[in-house]
């Protein structure tokens, strides 16, 4: 096996020799890449290694962007004033960097107005095209017609 680490001359050693080096330094022998030929091992404090690995993962996790999805609900026969009011909220959500899930909810027999619902969602997409782009075109799922809009960067 190839041995690396502090206070160790990098080279190829037998397992017994590597264990002996680790025991002398009161550290652990850790296999770094088992698929390499020969396998690579490192002499280090294993608990400290695990601690630092967790710390790195936590730092990466905190830097990851969290996607916020805001919803706006319409009826199939939403009036112009209500539409404008909800459109302003949609603009605010997109400017804040959140994704937008706009949907038309069909109650009872209002499912016969699915064309109106689609027209309403497409109108919203057209009105918001300067600040957002459509990720998913309007699609009917059960009694809901949904559309996703993501903010433009």
Whole-number Cα distances in Å, 18 to 4, 30, 47, 116, 133: 10, 10, 19, 74, 58
pTM of the model: 0.57
CATH for the 69-151 domain, from 3.40.1440.60, 2.120.10.10, 2.40.30.170, 3.30.110.10? 3.30.110.10
Residue 63 pLDDT = 79
| Average confidence (pLDDT) over 133-142 | 90
CB 104 within 8 A of CB 75: yes
Identify the bridge partners of residue 144 per DSSP, sorted by sequence position: 105, 141
Q: What does the pLDDT look like over 36-93, one tens digit per residue?
A: 888 999 998 889 889 999 999 998 888 777 788 999 999 888 889 999 999 999 999 9
8 Cβ contact list (under 8 Å, min separation 6): 21, 43
In the chain, where the domains are located: 2-61, 69-151
pLDDT tens for 106-128 read: 888 888 878 888 899 999 999 99
What does the pLDDT read at residue 65?
72
**Distance from chain centroid for Cα 19:** 42
Tell me if 2-61 shares its fold with 69-151: no
- Which class is domain 2-61? alpha beta
């Amino acid at each position: 096996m190839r041995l690396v680490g502090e206070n160790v001359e990098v080279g190829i050693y037998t397992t017994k020799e590597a264990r002996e080096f680790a025991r002398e330094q009161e550290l652990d022998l850790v296999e770094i890449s088992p698929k390499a030929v020969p396998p690579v091992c490192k002499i280090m404090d294993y608990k400290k290694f695990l601690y630092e690995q967790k710390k790195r993962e936590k730092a990466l996790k905190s830097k990851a962007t969290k996607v916020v999805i805001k919803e706006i609900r319409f009826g199939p026969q939403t009036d112009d004033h209500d539409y404008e009011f909800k459109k302003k909220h949609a603009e605010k959500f997109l400017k804040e960097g959140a994704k937008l899930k706009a949907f038309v909810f069909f109650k009872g027999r209002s499912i016969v107005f699915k064309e109106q619902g689609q027209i309403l969602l497409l109108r919203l997409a057209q009105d918001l095209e300067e600040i957002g782009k459509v990720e998913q075109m309007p699609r009917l799922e059960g009694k809901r017609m949904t559309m996703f809009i993501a903010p433009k960067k």
